[in-house]
């Protein structure tokens, strides 16, 4: 699904160049949940932007769904992005659209007629347990509900690849756990490949098959993780659980 070979990225400032990612190589297989963990500023967001085609890298090769992304035209990129979905930390709903229109928006962009897209949106809302909120506006929703709606919207296009950018960071512990359970359920039901970025070790351990830890903009560790083993809370302790 995803293959990165020696990817590097730096940002130019007025006087010098700041390295954001240094020699990243990894492979994410079809249907797996792959975690990316690390402290703030280690390059998690940059890596996710590169993976989701919203930022170009400087050197290396990125192959997404068997296509070298450097060869993509803008049109190809848009087409490829239609196989992916993104769930953000801050829910990212459009506040002037009601829940039904928010969820069905990706289908509207693909030219699907109103009846069909609303029908599919209601199915997705039922999946996330919020079909009763279809006509509400996002301002009336709680944080957990808004994130469920974001998940419903992400699923409506049957994506092959899902990017999750700290989806539980803005939520309290109990709500975060509900969202993690929902992500597990959606993975069991729709079997997408998931790239899950988080700084929360518990969430990574709960969801991911494999995990990569970034430190100083490089890969520190990469490997399998024993799901739901001891609930360690320090970055070092987690590596005791890597198989």
Partner 1 sequence: MIMFISQPDQLKLIDAALETFNLLLVSTFISLPIGTLLGMMFALYEKKVFHQFKSLVHILSILVSIIRSIPFVLLMVIIIPTSFDLFGTSIGFIPSIMALSLIGIATLARLVEQAIIDMNPMIFDIAHSMGASKYQLFKEFIFVEARSSIILAFTSFIVSLLAYSSVVYIIGGGGLGYTAIQIGYYSPVGKTLMWASTIIMILIVQVVQLLGNILANYLNKKKRGH
Interface ranges with partner 1 (CB under 8 A): 52, 54, 77-79, 81-82, 84-86, 88, 90, 92, 94-98, 105-106, 108-109, 137, 139-140, 163
Which residue from 112, 92, 111, 110 is spatially nearest to 102, judged by alpha carbons? 92
Q: What is the DSSP string of 58-83?
A: SEEEEEETTEEGGG--HHHHHHHHTT
Rounded to a whole number of angstroms, the minimum distance from the CB of residue 160 to partner 1 is: 13
Task: Name which of 160 and 220 has its Cβ closer to partner 1.
Answer: 160
Rounded to a whole number of angstroms, the minimum distance from the CB of residue 130 to partner 1 is: 18
155-173: burial string, b at 16+ Cβ within 10 Å, e else? bbbebbbbbbbbbbebbee
For residue 157, report the phi and psi dihedrals to the nearest 5 degrees: -95, 10
Rounded to a whole number of angstroms, the minimum distance from the CB of residue 94 to partner 1 is: 6
Contact predicate 193/31, CB 8 Å: yes
Task: Name which of 10 and 92 has its Cβ closer to partner 1.
Answer: 92
Rounded to a whole number of angstroms, the minimum distance from the CB of residue 80 to partner 1 is: 8
Task: Name which of 73 and 234 has its Cβ closer to partner 1.
Answer: 73
Which residue from 172, 182, 68, 205 is spatially nearest to 129, judged by alpha carbons? 182
Rounded to a whole number of angstroms, the minimum distance from the CB of residue 16 to partner 1 is: 22
Distance CA 70, CA 130 (A): 40
Q: What angle do CA 157, 144, 191 make, to 5 degrees?
A: 35
Task: Name which of 140 and 229 has its Cβ closer to partner 1.
Answer: 140
Task: Name which of 81 and 222 has its Cβ closer to partner 1.
Answer: 81
Task: Name which of 8 and 98 has its Cβ closer to partner 1.
Answer: 98
Q: Which residue matches tokens 């659980």?
A: 241
Per-residue DSSP letter, 190: H
Contact predicate 36/19, CB 8 Å: no
Distance CA 218, CA 12 (A): 18
Contact predicate 28/89, CB 8 Å: no
Rounded to a whole number of angstroms, the minimum distance from the CB of residue 109 to partner 1 is: 5
Rounded to a whole number of angstroms, the minimum distance from the CB of residue 27 to partner 1 is: 23
Task: Name which of 46 and 202 has its Cβ closer to partner 1.
Answer: 46
């Amino acid at each position: 699904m995803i293959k990165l070979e020696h990817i590097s990225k730096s940002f130019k400032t007025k006087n010098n160049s700041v390295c954001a990612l240094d020699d990243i190589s990894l492979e994410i297989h079809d249907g797996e949940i792959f975690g990316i963990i690390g402290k703030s500023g280690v390059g998690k967001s940059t890596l996710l932007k590169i993976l989701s085609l919203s930022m170009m890298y400087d050197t290396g090769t990125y192959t997404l769904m068997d296509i070298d992304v450097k060869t993509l035209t803008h049109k190809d990129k848009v087409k490829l992005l239609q196989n992916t979905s993104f769930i953000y930390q801050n829910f990212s709903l459009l506040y002037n659209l009601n829940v039904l229109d928010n969820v069905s928006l990706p289908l509207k962009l693909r030219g699907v007629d109103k009846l069909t897209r609303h029908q599919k949106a209601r199915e997705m809302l039922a999946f996330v347990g919020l079909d009763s909120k279809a006509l509400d506006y996002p301002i009336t929703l709680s944080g957990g509900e808004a994130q469920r709606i974001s998940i419903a919207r992400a699923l409506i296009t049957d994506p092959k690849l899902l990017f999750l950018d700290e989806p539980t960071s803005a939520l309290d512990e109990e709500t975060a756990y509900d969202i993690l359970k929902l992500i597990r359920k959606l993975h069991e039901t729709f079997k997408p490949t998931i790239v899950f970025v988080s700084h929360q070790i518990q969430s990574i351990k709960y969801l991911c098959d494999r995990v990569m830890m970034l430190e100083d903009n490089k890969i520190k560790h990469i490997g399998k993780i024993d799901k739901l083993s001891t609930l360690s809370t320090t970055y070092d302790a987690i590596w005791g659980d890597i198989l």
